[in-house]
Amino acid sequence: MTFGRRLRGAVAARGPLCAGIDPHAALLAHWGLPDDADGLERFAMTAVEALGEVCAVLKPQSAFFERHGSRGVAVLEKVLAGCRELGALSLLDVKRGDIGSTVRAYADAYLDPRSPLAADAVTASPFLGVGSLDPMVETALAHDAGVFVLALTSNPEGRRVQHAVTEDGRSVAADVLASLAAGNAGAGGAGSLGAVVGATVELPPDVDPSTLDIGGPLLVPGIGAQGGTLDDVRRVFGGAAGRVLPSSSREILRAGPDRARLRDAARRTADAFSVLTAPSP
């Protein structure tokens, strides 16, 4: 089954939530854990065990594991295996982008099921040109995996690039979204190629909810601690809001290390956004 269809099923069963696993130093301290590989493993596996049976998607941020070297990457492998065991889809947040054989090697590392770092989907950067990601997209589709491509991010520096106008008169963001929509054509609205669009972004003039409806999922970070709300999602995404997969990390993780509190925090967020994916009466 394609990633797009598996994601649709997971959201229907568990609600629309992508819970981030971001074990940065401040959260480790908040949990009373040391900022080392042992603290990392206790933090990450507690989060997986608490959330893996209730969340549609878990999104480990690779950088926070890589900073602990080979032991940290070994923990990341355990996190991805834990997601599979507990039934949550894994979205590995790596934001990779390169060309040729290098981007193909990234794809083999993260999307080929024979790799110990294999995930159900990854995040990717298109700013070497959307076409530079073709080997990653090809690998993902060959293995029924997904790729979420940065389109409109909420950091202030992103606007200079993403709102820039290309030679054909479209904004860079609109060009990225159009490429993803083309890649999802024929998937019956359950495409495996998604876009990353921040919850509080300002849209360029040539992007509106119809442009955001790419026939696949829209990963929306910035929910909760970063200020994004259900009202923001409705305002930005309009008729495309039903495709939104809200992503929250700190708001949920700060409820730990108690597993019950972590699950409750995740359920509250998923319940709040379920109105977006609920069928019309």
List, by residue number, the catalytic residues: 95
- Measure the CA–CA gap between 85 and 45, rounded to whole angstroms: 12
Q: Would you tell me the crossing angle of helices 3-14 and 259-277 to the nearest 10 degrees?
A: 110
Q: Do residues 147 and 136 lie in contact, with contact meaning Cβ atoms separated by under 8 Å? A: yes
- Measure the CA–CA gap between 252 and 38, rounded to whole angstroms: 21
Please compute Rg for the chain using Cα positions: 18
The residue count of the chain comes to 281
DSSP character at residue 61: B
- Measure the CA–CA gap between 127 and 91, rounded to whole angstroms: 20
Name the token pair of 38.
């042992």
Q: Do residues 222 and 228 lie in contact, with contact meaning Cβ atoms separated by under 8 Å? A: yes
CA diameter of the chain: 53
Name the token pair of 109.
């590392």
